[in-house]
Amino acid sequence: MKYVGVDVSKDSFNYFVMDEKYNEVKSGSFEMNHEGFEGFKDVVLGLKDSIAAMESTGNYHANLLAFLVSFKKEVCLVNPQLIKRFSQGTTLRKTKTDEVDAKLIAFFIAKNHELIPYFSPDNIDEIRVIARIREDISRQISAAKTKFKQHINVVFPEILTESNVYSSSIMNLLKLFPSANAIKNANIKEIKEAIASKRGKSIDLSASEIKELAKDSIGKASENFERIIRLDIRTIEFLEANLKEITDSFIDEIKKTNKDDLNIISSIKGISDITAAHFIAEVKDVKRFSTRNKLIAFAGTDPSIRQSGTSINSSGKISKKGSRTLRRYLYLMGQSLIIHNPHFKEYYDKKKKEGMPHRKAMIALCNKLLRIIYSLLTNRRYYDESLNKAYV
């Protein structure tokens, strides 16, 4: 048996082949292109019996992995954390090169090939990619809105305290009159037409009140900042349109494959289809976890354990070894549950009364939520508040 370690980077990849006695058989590198892929295929097919392995490296590994599994079933995709821990017992990564990394991966799979399952083409998860893109667009919108607010504070600070500047009415007003000075010079009819939004909630301010705010504003009169604010609004509108498009696509894809799971999770009052869909995209099939504690460990909200000799203690912190994205959406779920779900609000308040600070109380709530979701999905039942004790 031969063991092939592959270290992938953006433009190229290195490979290292070792035998059962951990001796080098061959090594080399290829460019990340068609010729490189075909060259590596010749190398792999030239080995009578072999197992290939590579680390999961963002998106860089995806194309090579898909190519490999198209002609070979003995391919393993390894969590980088496993390789990192394995490297601590070797001297290989003390000298950091791509060739050494490929050798380390080959050494790891030679030692652990019986424990690592082969990768299936079905595991190439496009839904998770869509979920991550949606999350990235959401972050871009938050950043764009923060900058927009900072720029408004220069030219019309008073509007920030008197209204929601992200409402469609105010955004439309500022697109046409992007400063207190511009609004001051506009007539009441123009302001009325600008804030007559066709969507979203109506604003509390009237056209005359907005004009009065502008009249007494300490905001700076600046054509440059007016241009910047118009650009801010176009950027936010562009990103929000993209977010709607990707969200619709994301939910549709989840409904095609996991509609029942989506309905079960969102049957918990306070959990939306969007947060439930992100949960599914990260967890996939809950049957992967033989116990609810393993699901909690995957989320990284389990206690961090410190061991010294025969002494084992909890550090009081969570491990954070699981999915960061899953933790983020669990936290968002938890915040919504406190607002909309009396049972979870009562549980959160109880933890606070026991002396827990907010973050620890939220982690306790998130773990309770994970236990309930695990029970619902494994038993294929919708949430019933009267059975809360039965779930945990």
CA distances from 359 to 61, 334, 370 (A): 36, 11, 16
Note the pLDDT of residue 94: 53
Side chain identity, residue 367: N
For residues 365 and 300, state if they share a domain.
Answer: yes
Distance CA 44, CA 17 (A): 9
Q: CA 90, 96, 98, 102: dihedral to nearest 10 degrees?
A: 0
Q: How does pLDDT run across 185-198, given as a tens digit for each residue?
A: 999 999 999 998 65
Determine, yes or no, domain membership for 332. Answer: yes
Side chain identity, residue 209: E
Q: How does pLDDT run across 128-152, given as a tens digit for each residue?
A: 889 989 999 999 999 999 999 999 9
CB-based contact 6:18 (threshold 8 Å): no
With a pLDDT cut of 70, the percent of the chain lying above it is: 88
Note the pLDDT of residue 207: 93
Note the pLDDT of residue 153: 97
For residues 318 and 378, state if they share a domain.
Answer: yes
Q: How does pLDDT run across 52-91, given as a tens digit for each residue?
A: 999 987 678 889 998 999 999 899 988 888 888 888 766 5
Distance CA 57, CA 77 (A): 10
Note the pLDDT of residue 92: 52
Q: How does pLDDT run across 244-266, given as a tens digit for each residue?
A: 999 999 999 999 989 999 999 99
If one compares 102 and 385, the residue with the highest pLDDT of the two is 102
In this structure, how many other beta carbons lie within 10 angstroms of the beta carbon of residue 224? 9
Determine, yes or no, domain membership for 335. Answer: yes
| Average pLDDT of the chain to the nearest whole number | 88
For residues 71 and 146, state if they share a domain.
Answer: no
Note the pLDDT of residue 314: 43
Determine, yes or no, domain membership for 163. Answer: yes
For the entire predicted model, the pTM comes to 0.70
Distance CA 124, CA 56 (A): 12
For residues 209 and 144, state if they share a domain.
Answer: yes
Full domain range(s) for residue 215: 129-242
Number of domains in the chain: 3
Tell me which of 93, 123, 153 is where a domain ends.
123
Note the pLDDT of residue 107: 94
For residues 98 and 156, state if they share a domain.
Answer: no
The domain that holds 221 is classified in CATH as 1.10.287.4070
Greatest mean pLDDT range, 119-133, 269-283, 290-304 = 269-283
Tokens 């109880």 map to which residue?
Answer: 350
For residues 349 and 296, state if they share a domain.
Answer: yes
Determine, yes or no, domain membership for 251. Answer: no
pLDDT of 311 above 60 = no
Side chain identity, residue 145: K
